[in-house]
Amino acid sequence: MLDLTKYRRIFLKDYTIDINIGVHDFEKKSPQIVVINVDLYILLEHTTCKNDNINDIFSYSYIKKSIIEITNNRHINLQETLCDEIMDKMMNHNLVYAARVSTKKANIYAEAKGIGVERFSVKN
């Protein structure tokens, strides 16, 4: 069982971007608002800074830069694809032990704040 007391959660919450996503014709006409959340679990020894120096810890900007890299200048059909690609990028980082990624289209249903998908992954 994962002992979360040995890890720090680094997160990007409610990152909102316009991206080209969707399989329906009306979705392909213009970008859609997608809200992305990422939680990363990294050992405390890799996120505890002894000298209060940013170079000693995991860079938060890795998360945002990765999302931009994945979504920039392309069309993605499915949220599952987007979620999986973000998850793969996060889990490929050598310091990340576990991650949770969710994506949500914000403007699909008037009756709901969004519709989306979520994944959780742990390294063996």
Q: What is the pLDDT of residues 62-110, one digit of tens each?
A: 999 999 999 999 999 999 999 999 999 999 999 999 999 999 999 888 8
Q: Are strands 32-43 and 96-105 parallel, antiparallel or unpaired?
A: antiparallel
Flag whether pLDDT at 9 surpasses 90. yes
Is residue 64 within 8 Å of residue 38, measured between CB atoms? Answer: no
Is residue 38 within 8 Å of residue 68, measured between CB atoms? Answer: no
Q: What is the pLDDT of residues 36-60, one digit of tens each?
A: 999 999 999 888 888 888 877 888 9
Could you tell me the CA-to-CA distances from 3 to 39, 44, 81, 88, 96 in Å, in that order? 16, 12, 30, 23, 15
Query: What pLDDT, on a 0 to 100 scale, did the predictor assign at position 7?
Result: 95
CATH number 3.30.1130.10 is the correct assignment for the domain at 4-122:
yes
Query: What pLDDT, on a 0 to 100 scale, did the predictor assign at position 12?
Result: 98
Query: What pLDDT, on a 0 to 100 scale, did the predictor assign at position 70?
Result: 98
Question: Domain boundaries in the chain?
Answer: 4-122
Average pLDDT over residues 19-44: 94
Query: What pLDDT, on a 0 to 100 scale, did the predictor assign at position 82?
Result: 98
Query: What pLDDT, on a 0 to 100 scale, did the predictor assign at position 3?
Result: 82
